[in-house]
Amino acid sequence: MNEQKSKTIRTLIPWFLATGVAWSLGFFYNVYYGGELSWLRRMYFQKIAIAESVTETPRLLIVGGSGAHYTIDSDLIEQELGIPVINLGLDGPIGLDVILPSVIDRVKPGDIVLLIPEYLLLLDNDGLGDRSTSFGVAIGRPGLGGIPVKQFLQEVIALGIPSLRAVAKSGVDAATQGEFTGYYSDPVSDKGDPTVVKERQQDWWKLPIKNSISQHSFERILQFNEEVEAKGGKLVLSLPWVYGSDTKRTLKNVEITADYLSKIAPTIYDRESLNIQDNVSYFADTHYHLMPEGRKVRAEQLVTELKPIIKSGNDN
């Protein structure tokens, strides 16, 4: 009987080894080179390096998902405000509970942290998204955001299994361009802004905002305000620009969200439009991402709204 068990084990060992090698290759592809997560990981570290290299304070740190990353003209804002501007915007599916702790350590005394959360983040009920677990693992901080153990283990296992679609795309990239590419593989500027414009190929529709800010998001941003203040910084919140619906329901939900955010920290937005835009030419490939001209107009609005806050801080 023991001999039979030993034979069975010897038979299975090559399969275990092959499975381990295959998973390791898939993990390397997803996290380090080729998969979309790998590009997001690289972009994050590029932005963190920029934040670490700028020692002059005060600084304006812009935080959020891609609705921050793809909507800012940092050069224009820096020129108008006269302080360094760093775009730390990442990706909405990382989730609010992971985005915020991933940047808090870069806040220095005197910094102004401008959080621009898109409604994907504001309306979420648990602060976690599709990339929460994988992003934490990719940046060397597994479990960041308090991800439940079962969810964490399931999603870590999945990191070693690239999707067929991703592998097929990488194969085409390798054959036609000689390298892998992805949505976030384009370089960022020396202030963390995107350098490539992505344009929409599908038809547009005005995005409805079906709910107001969730209790979880309110509490997590409230906690973030405390964390920023403990670092000696000041948190400012902004409603995102969105190509959105102007129905009564949408407007009411945005108004409620703005009211709740203003209980946490100074909240900036256009009181008439509520930052809901109807000029589709400003928008790039999503209802949040902006074309270069849209980024300039958005930057000018932010400058106007931020100047009194910065002046007030300097007077104190």
C-beta separation of 139 from 44 below 8 A:
yes
pLDDT at 121 over 60: yes
Bridge partners of residue 115, in order along the sequence: 63, 237
Supply the pLDDT for residue 176: 82
- The alpha carbon dihedral of 115, 120, 123, 126 has a sign of negative
Least confident stretch, 49-63, 151-165, 191-205, 269-283: 151-165
pLDDT, tens digit (0-9, with 9 covering 90-100), for 19-36: 667 778 777 787 888 889
> Given pLDDT bands bounded at 50, 70 and 90, which one contains residue 10?
low
Mean pLDDT of the chain: 91
pLDDT at 316 over 60: no
pLDDT, tens digit (0-9, with 9 covering 90-100), for 192-203: 999 999 999 899
pLDDT, tens digit (0-9, with 9 covering 90-100), for 54-64: 999 899 999 99
C-beta separation of 68 from 121 below 8 A:
no
In this predicted model, which residue has the larger pLDDT, 23 or 295? 295
CATH number, residue 168: 3.40.50.1110
pLDDT at 251 over 80: yes
C-beta separation of 102 from 90 below 8 A:
yes
Average pLDDT, integer, range 37-43: 95
C-beta separation of 74 from 85 below 8 A:
yes
Give the count of domains, the chain: 1
> Given pLDDT bands bounded at 50, 70 and 90, which one contains residue 114?
very high
Supply the pLDDT for residue 171: 72
Range of the domain at 116: 2-315
> Given pLDDT bands bounded at 50, 70 and 90, which one contains residue 159?
confident
Average pLDDT, integer, range 218-237: 98
| Two tokens, residue 19 | 């499975």
Supply the pLDDT for residue 5: 63
In this predicted model, which residue has the larger pLDDT, 75 or 180? 75
Supply the pLDDT for residue 26: 76
pLDDT at 149 over 70: yes
In this predicted model, which residue has the larger pLDDT, 144 or 171? 144
How many CB atoms are closer than 10 A to CB 148? Answer: 12
Bridge partners of residue 236, in order along the sequence: 114
